[in-house]
Structure formats: structure tokens, C-alpha cells
Amino acid sequence: MTLRDVSEASGVSEMTVSRVLRNRGDVSDATREKVLSAARELGYVPNKIAGALASSRVNLVAVVIPSLSNMVFPEVLSGVTSVLDRTDLQPVVGVTNYRPDREEKVIYEMLSWRPSGIIVAGIEHNDACRKMLAGSDVPIVEIMDIDGEPVDSVVGISHRRAGRMMAQAILEQGFERIGFLGTQMPLDHRARKRFEGFTETMAKSGLEIVDQEFYAGGSALKKGREMTEAILGRNEDLDFLYCSNDMIGAGGLLWCLEQGIDIPGKLGIAGFNGTEFLDGLPRRLATMDTKRFETGQRAAEIVAARADGTSTEPVRIEIAPAIDFGDTLQRYKP
């Protein structure tokens, strides 16, 4: 199927067909509809590679994320898609599984297609990956973390600030003997930064983490239950569990409720991310809303503006997280 086939079916020149399909040039609405109808009827799909040879760009936006099993990242993708749907740009996803070598391979492949932009989760990359990103002529937007030096544009929260905020809220509610449950550390740089901010704030109050439990796998409810049972088995007098994500926190909460533990009177629990599934728990887990949908939107807006030439400069956008006290943190009502 070629432009000529569409030209013959619609009764207009190949040049006009090309203008319509590339959304370029001044073409009447009637002619445009005639061409698009003919293309749909014939099942014609334009050769974007041929167009890319002339423009040095394809209309794809690479979105590079660590995981698809973690419900956090689909929310980011929804935000990206909500913006790109209003443009000619299409997202294409690459998954790194939190591995720097995998991220390097994914970004290498993405850049080889000369996309209109790359949105990549995180601000830490290995040297080879950072050099590729910095040396490309592609708009780069790093998302979900602003604690560091971005390659180009950056959109997200400060995870150190988020950790400090949560520690302050916990201490203000009178909790003192605090345990930490974390996953994907040290590979999850954002969780590590939150932990650093959290412990810094505790240290200023003369407190330290009493005990901690780490797990190198994914964020599972079952693992949250197991980790909670393990840490409380070693420390019956803990009065708070700070978890690196909502799945671990929810698993811990369910285990505690089954044991008849008074939440939050005897033990408080908090997670991180503000995921929607928390609404289905018997008690609402305290968490922190990180505005992931908004993050995806803002990142896509930057790429779209760079792609159409309305913006040329790097952009830095800090999004403020918000604590949701739920039913597991607030002992004292304001």
C-alpha cells in the first residue's frame, strides 16, 4: 500500500495526501476528510521511518521505567498518555527491572530510533548511560526524583524531603521506637534517599531506627506480612513501622490486624506512594501522595513543547508530596 493508492482512491495528488497524513500544510477540511477516509478504508499506514530520515525524528516518546508490576509506574504512564493523546506523539515503554545495565541497553535502543523525547524514571544512571543521554540531541526528562543533577529537564519530588516530612509527622504523634521495612535497596535510589531524610530528622530528635528489615525482591503484600512478623518477633516494644512502599505497609497492616494489635494505639504504620488500592483495606494505611499522574503529565508537556518548538530550555519542576494520615498514624487530632 502506497501514497499513490491513497491518492487514486481519494482523487487528490500524492503531495496533498502526504501533507494530510503528516498534518502539514494548508489543506481544506473536506480534502483532509477525503484523504483520511480513503486511508482508513485501504488500511494504509504511513512509513514513519522514511519520514524520520528527512526530519531526524520519529514521533515516538520513549518512557523508561523500572517495573510494570509496581502499580506506581502505570499511573505515571497514564499521566504521560493523557497529554500525548492530544499530540501526534506516541509513547513507547522500556522496562529496566531496576538494573543499571538493563537501563543502559534500553536507552541505547531507544535513542537509536531518534525519538522525539525520552522520559526516564530516576536521576541516577551509570556513566555510559548518562553520557548517551547528555550527548543526544533528544529532549530528556528525568522524573520522580529531583535530588541530584539532571541531564536536561526534571520533574518530581524530593525524596529526602519526603522522608523528613514523614519522620516529623511520626514524631509529632508521639512515636519513638521505630522500625523500618524496605525493599529494592540499594538499587532503589529513591527509597534510599527517603530513608536518609527520615533518619536525619530522627537523629535531630536524638532517636535512631531501632531495627530494620530489607528485602531485595518486589513489593508484595506477602512479603510485607513476613517482614512485619520478623521485625516484631525481634522487637515486641516497637511502636511504629515505616515502610518503603504501600504494598509492604499494607501487608504489615493486615498481619497486625489478624494478631489483634491495636493500630495505631500500640503500633502505627505508614507506607509510601498513595496508591489507590489502599481504599480497599479494613483500615486506611497512612501514606504519602507523590502525585504520579501529575508527574507524568508535566513530563509529557515538556517533551511536547520541545517537540513542537515552543520551548527550548531545560525545565525543573518540583512537585510537593502530601501526607495522608489514614487510620494508622494519627494518635492526636489537631
CA 171 to chain centre: 29
Both 168 and 283 in one domain: the answer is: yes
Grid cell locating 248:
509492604
Both 284 and 219 in one domain: the answer is: yes
Both 32 and 143 in one domain: the answer is: no
Both 145 and 90 in one domain: the answer is: yes
Tell me the CATH number at 25. 1.10.260.40
The continuous run of DSSP H or E covering 200 comes out as helix 189-204
Q: Which of the pair, 73 or 301, is modelled with greater confidence? A: 301
Residue 95: count other Cβ atoms within 10 Å of its Cβ. Answer: 17
Cβ-proximal residues to 229 (8 Å cutoff; 6+ apart), any chain: 255
d(CA 145, CA 153): 11
How much is the pLDDT for 102? Answer: 94
How much is the pLDDT for 120? Answer: 97
d(CA 5, CA 13): 10
Both 97 and 191 in one domain: the answer is: no
Residue 328 included in any domain: no
* Domain residue limits at 129: 54-157+292-320
Residue 329 included in any domain: no
How much is the pLDDT for 184? Answer: 62
Domain end among 289, 307, 329: 289
Both 268 and 301 in one domain: the answer is: no
Pairing assessment for the beta strands 117-121 and 90-95 based on DSSP bridges: unpaired
pLDDT at 290 over 60: yes
Both 87 and 131 in one domain: the answer is: yes
Tally of domains in the chain? 3
Both 38 and 104 in one domain: the answer is: no
- Give 160-179 pLDDT, tens digit per residue: 999 999 999 999 999 999 99
Tell me the CATH number at 270. 3.40.50.2300
d(CA 24, CA 298): 26
Both 99 and 112 in one domain: the answer is: yes
Both 26 and 108 in one domain: the answer is: no
Residue 331 included in any domain: no
Mean pLDDT of 315-324: 95
pLDDT at 53 over 60: no
pLDDT cut 70: percent of the chain above it: 94
- Give 141-151 pLDDT, tens digit per residue: 999 999 999 99
- Give 228-286 pLDDT, tens digit per residue: 999 999 999 999 999 999 999 999 999 999 999 999 999 999 999 988 878 888 999 99
Mean pLDDT of 56-69: 87
Residue 232: count other Cβ atoms within 10 Å of its Cβ. Answer: 21
Residue 310 included in any domain: yes
- Give 110-124 pLDDT, tens digit per residue: 888 889 999 999 999
How much is the pLDDT for 125? Answer: 92
CA 307 to chain centre: 21
How much is the pLDDT for 70? Answer: 76
Residue 69 included in any domain: yes
Mean pLDDT of 56-78: 87
Residue 198 included in any domain: yes
Both 69 and 86 in one domain: the answer is: yes
Residue 325 included in any domain: no
Both 264 and 278 in one domain: the answer is: yes
Note whether 176 and 189 are within 8 A (CB). no
Residue 332 included in any domain: no
d(CA 103, CA 62): 12
